[in-house]
Chains A and B, each alone.
Chain A
Amino acid sequence: MPISYFLVLSALLFSIGVYGVLARRHAVLVLLSIELMLNAVNINLVAFSALLEKAGLDGQVFALFVIAVAAAEVGVGLAIVILIYRNSQDTDVGELSLMKW
């Protein structure tokens, strides 16, 4: 199977993730989109690892580390979300203007 199949899948998923991050306003949904981007990267890494003769298992190891880091990141991110939620009674919980100058 040509490697480009996987690269195309990864590229599309990554772009969908980018769109999601920019188009969503709620922090949790932005975080979900970022997870999608990380998944897309993993597809790429594993594809290169599987289909490049010279690449070896490095890509798979890399994907493993990415999953571990993503888990840690999600933990901290969700903790901040809950913290803000509990400290603000207003309805805009977690809604951020990410592109403010």
Chain B
Amino acid sequence: MPLDIPAVRLTGIAPEIALCATALLLLVIDAVLGERRNRWYLPALASIGLGLSIYFATEAWGTTRLELSGMVAVDGFASFVKITLAVFGLLTVWLGRDFLVRERAEEGEFYGLVLFAVAGMMLMAGAADLIVVFLALETFSLALYVLVGFRRRSLLSQESSMKYFLLGSFSTAFFLLGIAFVYGAVGSTNLYGGEDGPGIVSSFMATGASDVGLLILAMGLLIVGLGFKVAAVPFHMWTPDAYQGAPSPVTGFMAAGSKIAGFAALLRLLDVTLYPLREDWRPLVIGVAVLTMVVGSVLAVVQEDVKRLLAYSSIAHAGFVFTGLIAANDRGVSGSLFYLATYGITVLGAFAVVAVLSGRDDEKVTLRDYRGLFYDRPLLAGALTLFLLSLAGVPVTSGFVAKLVVFGAAIQEGYWWLAVVGMVTSAIAAFFYLKVLVVMYMQEKETEDAERVRSGPLSTGVIGLAALATIVLGLYWGPLIDVAERATLFFAGG
């Protein structure tokens, strides 16, 4: 029997290939050209790579099929997430440029790792087999572990990297055990069942309901693994420390990127593959969602460090996205996508402001450093205000629309009490966003800075773009929701 290699069609993973190729090229160019004062060509090249991946992702829009022996799904859902991720990547690269120049850190490796991380996240969005989900998860996690420890003069940064790494590997082991049980329960790890090999659902239906116990346990373990990545309570222990220790641009990227990647896998797993078993996983996920919303909002109130505060806020936001996931209807899926996209842009903007203000060594991040910010730097304070209001879900910002959509989806499915929990916790959360605003507008600055940190042109651009997107999507949300809704039409796949 000769080895027959299946037809290889690469349209499904073209964005990832573009990114990996760019990253490798970038590393080589950086090594060949060596140390120079101004290495502008590196971020430029990274931007071109990300632009290319957006192009390839839009090319794939409109098709629905499985490729590479059923390993990746090419559908609107994957395209939507990939384009969003590429945008996050672009903002991160631009933001990272100013940070790297300021800190004189290794530029080439930073962009390379960011591109690899984005590629891993994209792969996760399109993964149609648990093994691909696992490998994609590991790829972007490894890149993030290193990126978190990128502040060279900070032991805190390296220790938080260690902590993130250990807890991440720990949760990966649970995720793997979950995969092993899925495999044991149904004899397959494929989410859909492609041209060769059965899928989880079809195999499960064939075997009957006797081994549902094994599959339920497996599902729980998978939720542990992915819940860790999206920072859901009780798997959130790493979040505050990693967010605090990481360089601000990386923190923004983690909050935006690993959240949408983790939720993309969760949505595909729970809302499509395990949809027939939704009555079995819903209680578990509802518990996680309520805990996440409550713990995230309540613990954020006592934080004194802006990055830790935003970390708890990101935990709470994971809980809000879960309500859309629990609804498991079209509106819930498209709402979650819209939520994750707008949240990502807003939170990247917020961390861009933090990055500019934190100064040398990325150190000025406590609330005290924000006293009287409005009188000192009105534009930055205004932008941060806008982002915080959007995170709190105030009308006229994108955050408000996003919350409306996911809660609406939950209500449509009869989970009105879940929406009530969401609104109550949003109200609690509004309190700590207000706390920051009070500090910025109502308190006096303590000491004068010896050196005033200037916002680089790229950082300013990122903040401006994010602010613009936050407002525009708060007023004209229609088009993006429309696209998100069309993204779910192809969602079911083969």
Contact = CB atoms under 8 A, between A and B. Distances in A.
B145 interface: yes
A84 B173 CA distance: 24
Contact of B189 (A21, A52, A62): A62
Interface stretch (B17-25, B72-80, B157-165): B157-165
A33 to B, nearest CB: 9
Nearest to A30: B166
B169 A84 contact: no
Contacts of B173: 14, 17, 34, 37-38, 41
Contact of B145 (A48, A80, A99): A80
B237 A98 contact: yes
A62 B131 contact: yes
Interface string B291-327: 0000000010000000000000000000000000000
B155 A84 contact: yes
Contacts of A23: none
Interface residues of A, number: 41
27 contacts: A30-B166, A31-B169, A34-B169, A37-B170, A37-B177, A38-B173, A40-B177, A41-B176, A41-B180, A44-B177, A48-B183, A54-B187, A54-B203, A55-B187, A55-B188, A59-B183, A62-B179, A62-B183, A69-B134, A69-B135, A76-B142, A84-B155, A84-B158, A88-B155, A96-B166, A98-B237, A99-B237
Interface in A30-67: 30-31, 34, 37-38, 40-41, 44-45, 48-49, 52, 54-55, 58-59, 61-62, 65-66
A27 interface: yes
Contacts of B131: 61-62, 65
Interface in B143-157: 145-146, 149, 155
- Main secondary structure, interface of A, reads helix
Name the 6 nearest CB pairs between A and B, nearest first: A37-B173, A44-B180, A48-B184, A54-B187, A55-B187, A41-B176
Contacts of A44: 177, 180-181, 184
A98 B162 CA distance: 10
A59 B186 CA distance: 12
B243 to A, nearest CB: 13
- Most-contacted residue by chain A among B167, B181, B184, B189 (CB, 10 A): B184
Interface of B: 131, 134-135, 138, 142, 145-146, 149, 155, 158-159, 161-163, 165-167, 169-170, 172-173, 176-177, 179-181, 183-184, 187-189, 203, 237, 240-241, 299
A76 B135 contact: no
A101 interface: yes
Given A62-B183, A87-B158, 7 more contacts: A14-B173, A17-B173, A27-B162, A34-B169, A48-B184, A58-B188, A73-B172
Contacts of B146: 76
B184 A80 contact: no
Contacts of B189: 58, 62
Contacts of A77: 165-166, 169
A78 to B, nearest CB: 10
A27 B167 CA distance: 11
A80 B170 contact: no
B461 to A, nearest CB: 33
A76 B183 contact: no
Contacts, number: 104
A16 interface: no
A69 B165 CA distance: 14
Given A44-B184, A52-B184, A76-B146, A66 B176 contact: yes
A21 B158 contact: no
A83 interface: yes
B155 A87 contact: yes
- Most-contacted residue by chain B among A49, A58, A72 (CB, 10 A): A58
B163 A84 contact: no
Nearest to B203: A54
Contact of B142 (A31, A72, A81, A101): A72
A77 B142 CA distance: 9
B65 to A, nearest CB: 22
B235 to A, nearest CB: 12
Nearest to B159: A84
A14 B224 CA distance: 15
B158 A80 contact: yes
B177 A94 contact: no
B192 to A, nearest CB: 15
A84 to B, nearest CB: 5
A45 B179 CA distance: 9
A73 B142 contact: yes
Contact of B163 (A40, A59, A66, A98): A98
Nearest to A37: B173
B180 A45 contact: yes
A17 B158 CA distance: 25
Given A55-B183, A73-B142, A98-B237, A31 B166 contact: yes
A44 to B, nearest CB: 4
Contact of A98 (B134, B161, B167): B167
A52 B203 CA distance: 13
Contacts of B167: 98
A90 to B, nearest CB: 9
Contact of B169 (A14, A41, A73, A96): A73
